[in-house]
Amino acid sequence: MESMSVIGLIINASIVVQLVMLILLSLSLISWYMIWKRQAVMSKTGKALHSFEERFWSGIDLSRLFVQVNTEPNPYSGQENIFRAGFKEFARLRKGGGSDPEAVMAGTERSMRVALLREQEKLETHLPFLATVGSTSPYIGLFGTVWGIMHSFLALANETQATLSVVAPGIAEALIATAIGLFAAIPAVISYNRFSANVDRLLHNYETFMDEFSSILHRKAHASSEAEAKA
């Protein structure tokens, strides 16, 4: 009966089925590592978002805030990186002179949009791999299942008397391959959906911040333009 245990079935499985199981176990381990890494990044990003929002809306002068975030940058704060890119471009265009407010705002918004795309790329790291594992692992396991059942029927053809004990080990090892495929796929799919929802929520917050920050800079640019015109 030892050979009918899970470990015994894996050891006695055909080379092809063992290779399928090894691939699936490797994919599962890599997926769990990436899930752990993504969870840590998402947690730090969420905390950084709330921390920067409190500082930004506390009434602090934007120039002073810009100096602070340049001195102690937070790599997990997407809003901070968008703010830094936008304010830096805004200050550069205004200092250059000769630019009307609309041109200044167009350059500023373009710079923030590039920063937003970079943040999106960072947030979506590892997600394609999780999606691939979630979609392909069941099929890889199914391949092992089909191969194991085929191997069992080939063994049955060489037997003079067909009994359950002849085909049971092959079918059992085939089902183990399917089970490992599902074990690799289910956490990957759940994590992918969860992280995708978090990414969408964070990007929505970033875009909302961009619109609000653009409005503030728009008023600032027009106020400076009017002051220069009066002078």
Low-confidence ranges of the chain (pLDDT < 70): 1-6, 8-10, 12, 97-99, 155-169, 224-231
**How many distinct structural domains can be found in the chain?**
1
The pLDDT value recorded for residue 124 is 93
Query: Long-range CB contacts (< 8 A, 24+ apart) of 23-27?
Result: 23/140, 24/137, 24/140, 24/141, 24/144, 24/177, 24/180, 24/181, 24/183, 24/184, 25/180, 25/184, 27/133, 27/137, 27/140, 27/184
pTM of model > 0.85: no
pLDDT tens digits, residue range 173-216?
Answer: 778 888 899 999 999 999 999 999 999 999 999 999 999 999 99
**Which domain, by its residues, includes 127?**
2-230
Q: What is the DSSP letter of 201?
A: H
Give the pLDDT score at 115.
94
pLDDT for residue 4: 59
Residue 1: the pLDDT is 43
